[in-house]
Amino acid sequence: MKFPSVSLKYLREDFLAGISVFLVTIPLCLGIALASGAPLFAGVISGIIGGLVVGYWSGSEVTVSGPAAGLTVIVLQAIQSLGYQSFLVSVVLAGVIQFILGWLKAGTLSSFFPNSTIRGMMVAIGLVIILKQFPHALGWDVDYEGEFEFSQQSDGENTFTEIFSALTHVNSGAFIISSACILFLVFWDKLAVGKQTFFKLFPSSLAVIFVGVGLNELFRILHPDWYLGTSPQHMVSFPSFRSWDVIMNSFVFPDFAALTSSGVYVAALTIALVASLESLITLEAADRVDHDRRYSSPNQELRAQGISNILCGLVGALPITAVVIRSSTNVFSGARTRLATMFHGLFLLISLITAGSLLQRIPLACLAALLIVVGFKLVDFKVFKKIYKEGKDQFIPFIITIVTIIFTDLLIGILVGLAVGVNYVLYFNFHSAIKAVRDGKNVLVVFSKDVSFLNKSNLKKILIDIKEGDSVLFDGARAQFIDQDIFTTLQEFKADADTRNIEVEFRYIVQRNISRKKKDGIV
């Protein structure tokens, strides 16, 4: 692996973006650790490793990695069945598998993700962020931050019933803070587009934190009933570690005696495959919103994820993936290079000792407002009309991906979207590779692209419709490749044509790699 270069050209932008991502990441790390049945410390350490280690080795300049909601069910089940120290062995093995996948260049498979599915995923993630953060914006902080599934196992609610519950339990202080923060973010971003230098230099995603904290402190003085600080449920909760000794004693190490258990290997393979898929999907999404439109190396990303998960398992942390929410926040906060991700990891590390009490002053409603605005930036409603005009082969997988992600979770939605997208590719290739046009007794059969055995049944349907006395021209001028099955079918048809009084002519019908210089007849 080559050592990536770290540019200091955008140091200020990356530093400020790193702070914004750090503030958003804290409740996500803690919430996912809680939902996974792991120590809160493990979630924080995962965030640190995701920032510093993946941040440096990543194939992308803007993706941010950490504990992911998509792994919570897998991790929870593994911890319950194996025990925490044995589970950590699975994390180490998962990292080894990911590194090997990157070394084998398996990351290039991400190039085959249909464009419609990726665009649908980005819109769906934006919508899910909005739907999931809406209850937090109203002060209904029952579910953990970062929860992404439609059906919630913790309380039996789903995304929409949770919103209904929030609407019937509105916290006035949270509602005012989130509303003010959303308006502030919109106003700030509009000024930043103009010639207001200050608004361009200072990111709105960081400035809004001061607004949220300031309003809440104002409530404490002027209207105590609206003050959110009396309930830790409504505030950022961060474990306090007063010394390095306490931190060192919080580490848990893997029990490698568990290597004799088959369950460890099953969990490792599951974690590796799911984490790799989510990381590659995030990489594709991040490339699309990257200000500089750079193309990232998926194989480098898999190797970076593998190294980091090996380290996570060795020090007792949760497995990590590249995460769309963090990566989107990073980009929209003005990040330009990998330094932003590394800064966020560094701030997490520093906060373990120094910043716990300060962070606990931040209302979750303020962070919800920030994430809701990020969600709206991902949901570009113009893209619906644009993709609709591209045809149903693009629009249907796009819509199905969105709906499935909203009503299941990210992983299932992506898999369904991929399946539908690939199915449409095969369907349209199947029906568009061979076209037949009839004019009286004259039939023109055009091979418009590469023709494989998948097109054999379509060709046979065309041949069946050719009647006695017809004159048929088979034109393969546009086909770079004709499969042996197709070639054989044409030979058989030509042999039978004379007995049926059918005149047959072949042009540019060339078998496999034979030169196309011979223009007429089957070669």
Q: Could you list the mean pLDDT of each consecutive 10-residue stretch along the chain, which spans 523 residues?
A: 80 92 88 86 94 94 91 90 96 98 90 83 90 93 77 77 93 96 89 68 82 94 89 79 77 94 95 93 88 88 97 96 91 92 94 75 91 88 88 89 90 86 75 84 86 81 89 87 84 86 86 44 46
Residue 435: per-residue pLDDT: 85
Residue 100: per-residue pLDDT: 97
Contacts of 82 (CB under 8 A, 6+ apart): 90, 258, 261, 263, 264, 267
Residue 476: per-residue pLDDT: 86
Using a CB cutoff of 8 Å and minimum separation of 24, what contacts does 508-517 make?
508/475, 508/476, 508/477, 508/479, 509/447, 509/474, 509/476, 509/482, 510/476, 510/479, 510/482, 511/482, 511/484, 511/487, 512/481, 512/482, 512/483, 512/484, 512/487
Residue 521: per-residue pLDDT: 46
Query: Token digits for 509?
Result: 């019908």
Residue 146: per-residue pLDDT: 67
433-507 CATH choice from 1.20.1260.10, 3.40.50.12780, 3.30.930.10, 3.30.750.24: 3.30.750.24
Residue 223: per-residue pLDDT: 92
Give the residue extent of every domain in the chain: 11-378, 433-507
Residue 431: per-residue pLDDT: 67
Contacts of 499 (CB under 8 A, 6+ apart): none
Strand-strand pairing, 471-475 and 442-447? parallel
Q: How far does Cα 39 stand from its chain's mean position?
A: 26
Residue the block writes with tokens 């404490």: 220
Residue 50's CB is within 10 A of a number of other CB atoms, namely 35
> In the beta sheet, which residues pair with residue 317?
none
pTM listed for this prediction: 0.78
334: region left, alpha or beta (phi > 0 left; psi from -120 to 50 alpha): left
Residue 516: per-residue pLDDT: 43
Residue 72: per-residue pLDDT: 86
Residue 154: per-residue pLDDT: 63
